[in-house]
């Protein structure tokens, strides 16, 4: 397995995206302490407000859903570009890491860390 940094690839201007329609349905029950579901064509996720801010914590929180979306987009774009360059992959493993810490409720001393890693098996 090889690890590759992709910071020098600038190619997205030449990709012609097809028209697409996305439908997402969210249903929520029982207020802040409740939970809900997020549904799309091939995706169903249980969602909730994190327990750390007085929600139930019984489902994916909005930041997890957002980072999942970014990871999916990054993965699909990377696979498309690598295959267009005739690089056939057996496995691609992408890890996104996001850490947000607030030291107090007034948002002072906040910290945001984000990292990602890519591993290929060809």
CB atoms near residue 16 (< 10 Å): 4
pLDDT score, position 12: 43
Confidence (pLDDT) at 108: 62
Taking the whole predicted model, whether its pTM rises above 0.75 is answered as no
Tell me the pLDDT of the chain (122 aa) as tens digits.
Answer: 444 444 444 444 445 556 778 888 999 999 999 999 999 888 899 999 999 889 999 999 988 898 888 888 888 888 888 888 888 888 888 888 777 766 666 666 666 677 777 877 77
Q: Output the pLDDT for position 73.
A: 87
DSSP 63-102: HHHHHHHHHHHHHHHHHHHHHHTT---SEEEEEEEEEEE-
What's the pLDDT score for residue 103?
63
Give 19-48 as a DSSP string.
Answer: P-----EEEEESSTT-EEEEEETTEEEEEE
Strand order in the sheet with 91-101: 2-3, 111-121, 91-101
CA distance 57 to 82: 38
Q: Give the chain's largest Cα–Cα span.
A: 51
CA distance 84 to 8: 17
Q: How far, in Å, CA of 50 to CA of 30, rounded?
A: 14
| Domains of the chain, residue spans | 22-60, 62-122
């Amino acid at each position: 397995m090889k690890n590759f940094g992709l910071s020098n690839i600038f190619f997205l201007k030449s990709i012609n995206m097809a028209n697409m329609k996305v439908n997402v349905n969210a249903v929520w029950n029982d207020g802040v302490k409740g939970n809900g579901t997020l549904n799309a064509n091939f995706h169903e996720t249980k969602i909730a407000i994190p327990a750390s801010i007085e929600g139930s914590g019984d489902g994916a929180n909005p930041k997890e859903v957002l980072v999942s979306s970014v990871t999916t987009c990054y993965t699909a774009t990377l696979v498309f570009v690598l295959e267009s360059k005739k690089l056939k992959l057996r496995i691609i493993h992408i890890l996104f890491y996001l850490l947000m810490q607030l030291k107090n409720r007034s948002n002072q001393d906040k910290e945001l860390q984000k990292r990602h890693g890519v591993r290929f098996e060809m």
